[in-house]
Copies of this chain bind each other. A is one copy, B any other.
Amino acid sequence: MKNIFGSALQICLFGESHGAAIGVVMDGLAPGIPLDLEGIRRQLDRRRAKGNISTARRETDAFQIVSGFFEGYTTGTPLCLLIPNQDQHSKDYEKTRYLPRPSHADYTAQAKYLGYQDYRGGGHFSGRITAPLVAAGAICQQILREKGIRLGTHIARCGGVDDEPLPQEEQALQKALEKLDQEEFPALSLDRWAKMVRAIQRAHEKGDSVGGILETAVVGMPAGVGEPFFDSVESTLSHLLFSVPAVKGVEFGLGFGFADQLGSQANDPFRYENGRAITATNHNGGINGGITNGMPLVVRTVVKPTPSIYLEQETVDLREQKNTTLQIQGRHDPAILHRARAVVDAVAAIGLVDLFAQRYGTLWMRKNP
């Protein structure tokens, strides 16, 4: 299951950065979902390069749904969404075809695909391929929203700057997620975001890049979703999150913070509140034994600094079989966190819809009457 994910809802991804088009096929959507095309555009817009902290490559992400969508509704048959590629500077990559960029996939693609890979712009490894993933995720977010499940992601940390923390209390958290959905900046605090932007710009001026941590929360999940072993909520979401380029770590709840805790500190006691069993704390991020317990899901994802920096780097010449140096040309993001958060939202939504559909069936995806 290489470029296909899922059990009940299957996502098939394809495309190269400088190929004719990139796209996704979604197989297993319920019929009769009135697709919010504007919502898809909105998520694609969040993913896109904008302003002076992103790559100068201008893409419009105009998409076309060529199947599975008729008279405003999903048909229930496979839905194929295509995004033609634009504004490709293929020449940027020819000179460096045999010079693998450090920490990129150039070298490993060569090893795996034996030289036949489309090397331009990172080919199938480019962050561009996350665009159709975001479109598919937007559809899943719509499905979840209609079930009262809301999710959102903020930049928890970037360039040494911490955002405000997510509220613990569920109503406040709900409000924070709504704000993240409405506002254009990808943080809880505009002030902290401004500081992050300055840190990104400083790195950019030096020809360098930064990474950071994205934090995602989901509210409204019922208890009982997920599987004990191989399709636990953590397994499902991490499988998808680690598919996103540049992700190198995923943690749930306290995550690595559990390492220095005692059980008495880490455990989440149960109590009834308004007739519903909740946990007094939520160190487990809403998941016990791989299954949701009804508390908000909390997951953090680390995104490494964008490998494409403008400083000179050491590399090898695969054709001449010798050591050399490389100075990357072209147009690259000094940071991708503010764009990657749309991708993280998307894959989280995809994973959750698949888990729901396994339990409740394909028809669950339809709006409650």
Contacts and interface: CB of A to CB of B under 8 A. Distances in A.
A242 interface: yes
A238 B105 CA distance: 19
Contacts of A279: 102
Contacts of A260: 157, 160, 211
A12 interface: yes
Contact of A313 (B75, B123, B267, B283): B267
Contact of A228 (B64, B124, B239, B261): B124
Contacts of A7: 1, 7-8
Interface string A264-306: 1111111110010101100111011111111000001011111
B272 A302 contact: no
Contact of A75 (B73, B116, B308): B116
A133 to B, nearest CB: 8
A27 B228 CA distance: 12
A208 B288 contact: no
A67 B16 contact: yes
A80 B254 CA distance: 36
User: DSSP class of A's interface residues: helix, strand, loop or mixed?
Assistant: mixed
Interface stretch (A37-45, A46-54, A106-114): A106-114
Contacts of A160: 260
A243 B158 CA distance: 30
A14 interface: yes
Nearest to A318: B277
Contacts of A303: 258
Contacts of A263: 103, 203, 208-211, 305-309
Given A108-B292, A211-B259, A290-B243, A316 B230 contact: no
A200 to B, nearest CB: 11
- Of the candidates A68, A157, A249, the one having the most CB atoms from chain B within 10 angstroms of its own CB is A249
Given A262-B210, A309-B264, A314-B280, A67 B255 contact: no
A224 interface: yes
A118 interface: yes
A7 B315 CA distance: 35
A243 to B, nearest CB: 5
Contacts of A14: 25, 27, 66-68, 77-80
A292 B223 CA distance: 34
Interface string A68-84: 10100111111110100
Interface stretch (A143-151, A171-179, A186-194, A353-361): A353-361
Interface size band for A: 35 or more
Given A75-B124, A103-B267, A243-B290, A15 B109 contact: no
A272 B80 contact: no
B224 A247 contact: no
B229 A129 contact: yes
A345 B323 CA distance: 35
A31 interface: yes
A28 B303 CA distance: 28
A116 B76 contact: yes
A64 B112 CA distance: 25
A100 to B, nearest CB: 6
A108 B288 contact: yes
17 contacts: A5-B229, A7-B7, A14-B80, A16-B68, A16-B75, A75-B123, A210-B261, A210-B263, A211-B263, A238-B239, A238-B242, A239-B239, A248-B252, A261-B305, A267-B305, A277-B316, A361-B362
